[in-house]
Amino acid sequence: MNNWVNEALKIAQEARDRSYSPYSKFKVGAALVTQMDEIYPGCNVENASFGGTVCAERNAVFHMISKVGIRPLKGLVLITEPLAVPCGFCLQVLSEFAPPNFEIHMFDPNGLHHVKKLADLLPNRFNPASLPK
């Protein structure tokens, strides 16, 4: 496995341990990796309003932008039990900043590993280029 995936998996596992998910009990850890191999973790943070909940992947994107701004992106590592693909909202937010060949590595805690490109999961994306000039 790529070195950056291993490194990001550790960071995603730590973020998952910090997940605030008392309502769903579904703990999600994410780690967003830039072309420079910087890693930005995120976990899901739920809310009693339910609608205020934010997913791990979006928190990772917002974390990067809040800290260093927009960087060229390489991939994302996600850890859930059971293994899951990112939701449509998160794919949409990732597509704002990530290229079609951006890699999404999905793990479960037992080491099950699936990898997909962003373009596999969201082939016809609405992105900034979709808007009129």
Active site residue 7: no
- Tell me if residue 126 falls in helix, strand or coil: coil
Judged by beta carbon, residue 28 or residue 64, the one nearer ligand THU is 28
Nearer to ligand THU, 41 or 86 (CB): 86
Identify the residue among 2, 24, 66, 101 touching ligand THU (CB under 6 A). Answer: 24
Peptide bond into 82 cis (omega under 30): yes
Q: Which token pair is 20?
A: 């605030």
Strands (DSSP E) contained in the chain are 29-34, 39-43, 73-79, 103-107, 113-117
Q: Which of residues 39-58 bind ligand THU (CB under 6 A)?
A: 44, 46, 53, 55-57
Within 89-128, the residues that bind ligand THU by CB under 6 A are 90
Binding residue (CB under 6 A) for ligand THU from 5, 9, 75, 86: 86
- Please, which residue, 37 or 65, has the CB nearer to ligand THU? 65
Q: Which of 7, 14, 57, 103 is catalytic?
A: 57
Instruction: Between 33 and 90, name the residue whose CB sits nearer to ligand THU.
Output: 90
Which of 26, 92, 30, 84 is closest to 53 using CA atoms? 26
> With CB under 6 A, what is the number of residues at the site for ligand THU?
13
Q: Are the beta carbons of 78 and 12 closer than 8 angstroms?
A: yes
Residues 6+ apart with CB under 8 A from 118: 91, 94, 95, 98, 99, 100, 101, 102, 103, 104, 125
Interacting residues toward ligand THU by CB under 6 A: 21, 24, 26, 28, 44, 46, 53, 55-57, 86-87, 90
